């Protein structure tokens, strides 16, 4: 795993945007795997700026998002659908029909997950997957557990994730307790993976990712089996 240690969050965001922009320029019809959470927002801001300067064109880009709460209305400000439009999609020229996010409104969650995985496979595969990391080492919504489902699936959220994500909601009891998420195998199919982490709160997760053996009790450690992962983190996440 290549590790890029940055001075601060701004630098993490710039470095990540550089990698994404490089790929979009090199392969205008690339497939991006996108993540939510607060971490990638700075990177998205940098990409929007490059687009506005005329240095990036997303007209042929396709995207697959990692996960979505379940059940949740797309109009809910805390849905990842709403979030992605707000922080990225409505500011760039990506085509609506090229955007894929697990549907939190689906009546049949299992069917939605199966179809999402099929669409992901039929697309030819993600060229570059952006990931954040949960304080407990989750990626997407693959939470630490004894067993993990490999492909896109419905999952319960752990207490620690509900607590960590409560800051976006009015109260903790409004955080959905379920989600739809790409599985670890879906994520590992991506050609390149860029994992972003910043701040002291992520130090333990980053330390475990770099030093621990592969275990489902820290899903991020499974990234070690992939041969093209770049971790971009700030000093606080790296040193604690
Ligand atoms: C959320 C998302 C993850 C994200 C993580 C970290 O629960 N499902 O994809 O990486 O938590 O979020 P943040 O970047 O806000 O710390």
- The arithmetic mean of pLDDT across residues 55-83, rounded, is 97
Q: Which of 165, 188, 185, 183 is nearest to 175 (CA)?
A: 165
**CA 181/CA 31 separation, integer angstroms:** 18
| Mean pLDDT of the residues in the chain | 97
- pLDDT given at position 6: 98
Looking only at the bridges linking them, the beta strands covering 67-70 and 178-181 are antiparallel
Q: In testing the pocket of ligand 1, which one of 33, 36, 84 has its CB within 8 Å of the most ligand atoms?
A: 36
- pLDDT given at position 3: 98
The pTM of this model reads 0.96
Range of the domain at 36: 2-239
- pLDDT given at position 92: 98
- pLDDT given at position 233: 98
Residue among 46, 98, 136, 165 flagged as catalytic: 136
Query: How much of the chain exceeds pLDDT 70, in percent?
Result: 100
**CA 220/CA 205 separation, integer angstroms:** 8
- The arithmetic mean of pLDDT across residues 216-233, rounded, is 97
- pLDDT given at position 67: 98
pLDDT, tens only, 86-102: 999 999 999 999 999 99
143 among known catalytic residues: yes
Q: How confident is the model at residue 212 (pLDDT cuts 50, 70, 90)?
A: very high
Q: What is the 3-state secondary structure (H, E, C) of the chain?
A: CEEEEECCHHHHHHHHHHHHHHHHHHCCCCEEEECCCCCCHHHHHHHHHHHHCCCCCCCCCEEEECEEEECCCCCCCCCHHHHHHHHCHHHCCCCHHHEECCCCCCCCHHHHHHHHHHHHHHCCCCCEEEECCCCCCCECCECCCCCCCCCCEEEECCHHHHHHHHHHCCCHHHCCCEEEECCHHHHHCCCEEEEEECCHHHHHHHHHHHHCCCECCEHHHHHHHCCCEEEEEEHHHHHC
- pLDDT given at position 239: 97
Q: How confident is the model at residue 210 (pLDDT cuts 50, 70, 90)?
A: very high
- The arithmetic mean of pLDDT across residues 115-128, rounded, is 97
Structure tokens at 44: 């998205």
- The arithmetic mean of pLDDT across residues 144-149, rounded, is 95
**CA 54/CA 77 separation, integer angstroms:** 29
136 among known catalytic residues: yes
**CATH number of the domain encompassing residue 152:** 3.40.50.1360
- Are 178 and 69 contacting, i.e. CB atoms less than 8 angstroms apart? yes
pLDDT, tens only, 152-178: 999 999 998 899 899 989 999 999 999
Number of domains in the chain: 1
For the CA of 179, the nearest atom of ligand 1? 8
Residue among 15, 46, 65, 67 flagged as catalytic: 67
- pLDDT given at position 235: 98
Pocket around ligand 1 at a 6 A CB cut-off: 35-39, 66-67, 132-134, 140-141, 161, 165
């Amino acid at each position: 795993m290549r590790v890029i240690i940055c001075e601060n969050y701004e630098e993490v965001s710039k470095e990540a945007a550089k990698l994404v922009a490089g790929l979009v320029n090199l392969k205008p019809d690339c497939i991006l795997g996108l993540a939510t959470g607060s971490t990638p927002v700075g990177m998205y801001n940098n990409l929007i700026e490059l687009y506005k300067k005329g240095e990036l064109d997303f007209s042929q880009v396709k995207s697959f998002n990692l996960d979505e709460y379940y059940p949740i209305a797309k109009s809910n400000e805390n849905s990842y659908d709403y979030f992605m439009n707000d922080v990225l999609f409505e500011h760039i020229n990506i085509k609506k029909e090229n955007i894929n996010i697990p549907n939190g409104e689906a009546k049949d969650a299992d069917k939605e997950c199966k179809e999402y995985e099929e669409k992901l496979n039929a697309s030819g595969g993600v060229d570059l997957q952006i990931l954040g990391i949960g304080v407990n080492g989750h990626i997407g919504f693959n939470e630490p557990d004894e067993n993990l489902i490999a492909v896109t699936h419905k999952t319960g959220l752990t207490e620690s994730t509900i607590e960590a994500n409560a800051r976006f909601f009015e109260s903790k009891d409004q955080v959905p307790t379920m989600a739809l998420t790409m599985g670890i195998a879906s994520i590992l199919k991506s050609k390149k993976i860029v994992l972003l982490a910043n701040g002291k709160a992520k130090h333990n997760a980053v330390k475990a990712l770099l030093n621990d053996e592969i275990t489902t009790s820290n899903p991020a450690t499974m990234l070690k089996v992939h041969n093209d992962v770049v971790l971009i983190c700030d000093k606080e996440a790296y040193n604690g």
